[in-house]
Amino acid sequence: MLRQINVIRTFVLYSILLHFIVGCKSVEPVIKLDTTPVIASMDLVNIIEDKVPVELKISNISTDTISYYLPKIVPGTYQNNDYGKYIEQFKAFDKEGNELKVEKLDNNRWKIGNSKSLNKITYLVNDTFDIEETHEVFSATGTNIAQNENFILNLYAFVGYFGNMKEKKYNLFIKHPIDLEASTSLTEYLPKEPLAGAIYDTDVFIFKRYADLADSPIMYSVPDRVTFTINDIEVLLSVYSPNKVHRAAQLMPQMERMIRAQKNFLGYIDTTKKYSVLLYLSSAKSNDAKGFGALEHNTSTVVVLPESIPLKLLNESLTDIVSHEFFHIVTPLNIHSEEIHHFDYNNAKMSKHLWLYEGTVEYFSLLFQINQALITKEEFFERILEKINNSKNFDDTLSFTEMSENILQEHYNENYANVYEKGALISMCIDIIMREKSSGAYGILDLVKGLSGRFGSETPFKDEELLGIIEEISFTEVTDFLNAHVVNNIPIDYGFYLKKVGLIYNTVEVPSGYFIYEQEPFIKGSEATKKVVFTEGVERSNFLRKAGIRKNDILLGINEKKYTIKNIYDLFSDSNKWNVGDDILFIIERNNQILRFNSKVITPTVEKIMLEENPNATSQQIDNLKSWVND
């Protein structure tokens, strides 16, 4: 970690400096602003039964009672995680050390009585990695406390806020074992020179407001890290591999190549000066993280992956995950709505524009690879087809803006992952429209840069006004498209857009098995009921569709034979003996009713989407394609 302020050596000096600054400021204004920070302290040395003691000091509360909150939800996640659930032994004290009355109002909120005399609160924080079976908190958004070994500090899970005082400054002191060092994009203030023989050190971080604290993860571990500079960005890669299977130095070449390509792709854009990749490799044992992936922050990302994967696969996973997270520095960092800018951690209002924040970023993480020649044109088309196929697993008639706004509700949340599939395809269509309209001069990257120049990290847009602004800086056709397929719920005809870049998008019938296509079976055994259940694959199979079978139907028997999980494999050998034209009777259970479907055996096929270059494409279509794939 960079220790940038090396001149000041002790906390005593630090407090003098702080008072000096406060003193200077308070001379001039008539109205005295409350500039006293919240002083938060975390103790990573004296862990109590796998829990970190936390203390927050605050003074000058003017109300009789005050609430203290841990976040229910944090930006970048689209579910309620209730970080307050991991807090124990919450206590409040006055200056004399007398305990004040505390009432727990819900999972994330404590009401403190007689708060005019409040001096500090204390509590213990439990971590999420080692109890993942008991909750839904995704690893990269959670916490790890492994004494003397590793700490993943998503700070919002440790430190909360008082009342509506989210704009208050925070000074955070972290006492940590001397061998474990902080990896973070934060600048550490006041490195205290450890005394000879000291077993711990204290790091100090200062935050302008709660949102900055919540957005700044830190990993403490025995350092294994590399830094490199790409144009004006300094990148830190810090790796925790419990069995030393993977090292930062081995992962650096690919990471550097990738981020360099991303920066080249972006061209000039005002972004962060520092970026940290904090990689936690999990043993994947019962008491370790099992949700693999990442959470983006404005200047860093926390990535959790299994330690057991081979280097090549780890590099590939990191390329996919980190390239996506890194592009988040463009949006939402530089382009976001008021809902995100003034994020309410306990009563979050969600923006309508997930298609922009997640969809565009996911599309960029594909597009930059072809733009910078990291993949071939064929591989690029393959990835697009994959997205189209995956998007079919979701509700295609759901308005994206409606889903985005209501993403915390169950029906909408079920479709959330479509922001990485259809969300990316929405951006692809906009890209193609813009290239067609501008004869290849502009694409969606230019639109995004335009928005970033207009707004930037400090100026949010109003959710309702975004489409109007997009029309101003791009083309009417782009807003027409957004209105039809993102605000309204008309499914997208991908063939129509892909034709503009000289591609033929075709659905063809290809041979399959009766109950399987390639590696994808259309049936599965249910462990709970021991019955055979049809999967969503039946919708692709012309044979099963024509027989009247639907997803989630339970297969009881065919002709005279009964099937259960025990003889499920007989289905494949039995059906091999069928002949086209044979009569066939399916006995099905659907909604607790027994149904009988009489049908005839036909040649089984599935629909497969193909994407090919049209040999008869017009010169304009060819030019559009060249501009799209940077050929």
Tell me the HSE value of 380 on the side-chain side, using a 13 A CA sphere.
Answer: 24
Sorted by sequence, the CB contacts under 8 Å of residue 275 that are 6+ apart come out as 185, 233, 234, 235, 236, 259, 299, 300, 326, 329
CB of 358 to Zn ion, least distance (A): 5
Length of the chain: 631
> For Zn ion, which stretch binds (CB under 5 A), given 199-207, 239-247, 310-318, 350-358?
350-358
State which residue, 127 or 358, has the beta carbon closest to Zn ion: 358
Sorted by sequence, the CB contacts under 8 Å of residue 411 that are 6+ apart come out as none
Distance of alpha carbon 74 from alpha carbon 154, whole angstroms: 10
Q: Which residue number places its CB atom closest to Zn ion?
A: 358
CB of 76 to Zn ion, least distance (A): 7
Distance of alpha carbon 2 from alpha carbon 186, whole angstroms: 9
Q: Which of 197, 194, 196, 213 is nearest to 205 (CA)?
A: 213
> For Zn ion, which stretch binds (CB under 5 A), given 62-70, 353-361, 599-607, 611-619?
353-361
CB of 519 to Zn ion, least distance (A): 28
CB of 321 to Zn ion, least distance (A): 9
State which residue, 43 or 358, has the beta carbon closest to Zn ion: 358
State which residue, 325 or 623, has the beta carbon closest to Zn ion: 325
CB of 139 to Zn ion, least distance (A): 15
Looking at 248-394, which runs of residues are DSSP E strands? 274-282, 293-296, 300-306
In 10 A of CB 221, how many CB atoms?
Answer: 24
State which residue, 358 or 553, has the beta carbon closest to Zn ion: 358
State which residue, 339 or 358, has the beta carbon closest to Zn ion: 358
State which residue, 53 or 76, has the beta carbon closest to Zn ion: 76
Alpha-helix residue ranges (DSSP H) falling in 539-609 = 542-547, 570-576
Torsion on CA atoms 149, 256, 370, 483, rounded to nearest 10: 60
CB of 294 to Zn ion, least distance (A): 8
State which residue, 279 or 568, has the beta carbon closest to Zn ion: 279
State which residue, 303 or 571, has the beta carbon closest to Zn ion: 303
By CB under 5 A, what part of segment 35-74 binds Zn ion? none
State which residue, 358 or 436, has the beta carbon closest to Zn ion: 358
Query: Binding string, 354-383, against Zn ion, x = CB under 5 A?
Result: ----x-------------------------
State which residue, 358 or 623, has the beta carbon closest to Zn ion: 358
Q: Which amino acid is at 579?
A: N
> For Zn ion, which stretch binds (CB under 5 A), given 13-21, 204-212, 265-273, 351-359?
351-359
By CB under 5 A, what part of segment 528-557 binds Zn ion? none
CB of 223 to Zn ion, least distance (A): 28
CB of 365 to Zn ion, least distance (A): 9
CB of 328 to Zn ion, least distance (A): 6
**CA Rg value for the chain:** 28
CB of 108 to Zn ion, least distance (A): 24
CB of 514 to Zn ion, least distance (A): 39
Judging by beta carbons within 10 Å of its beta carbon (0-12, 13-18, 19+), is residue 338 exposed, middle or buried?
middle
Token pair in block for residue 275: 């970026």
Report the b/e string of 595-627 with b at 16+ CB within 10 A.
eebebebbebbbebbebeebeebeeebebbbeb
3-state percent breakdown (helix, strand, coil) of the chain, nearest 5 = 35, 25, 40
DSSP-derived pairing of the beta strands 225-230 and 300-306: unpaired
> How many residues in the shown chain lie near Zn ion by CB under 5 A?
1
> For Zn ion, which stretch binds (CB under 5 A), given 203-211, 286-294, 336-344, 352-360?
352-360
State which residue, 180 or 340, has the beta carbon closest to Zn ion: 340
Judging by beta carbons within 10 Å of its beta carbon (0-12, 13-18, 19+), is residue 192 exposed, middle or buried?
middle
Question: Which residues contact Zn ion by CB under 5 A?
Answer: 358
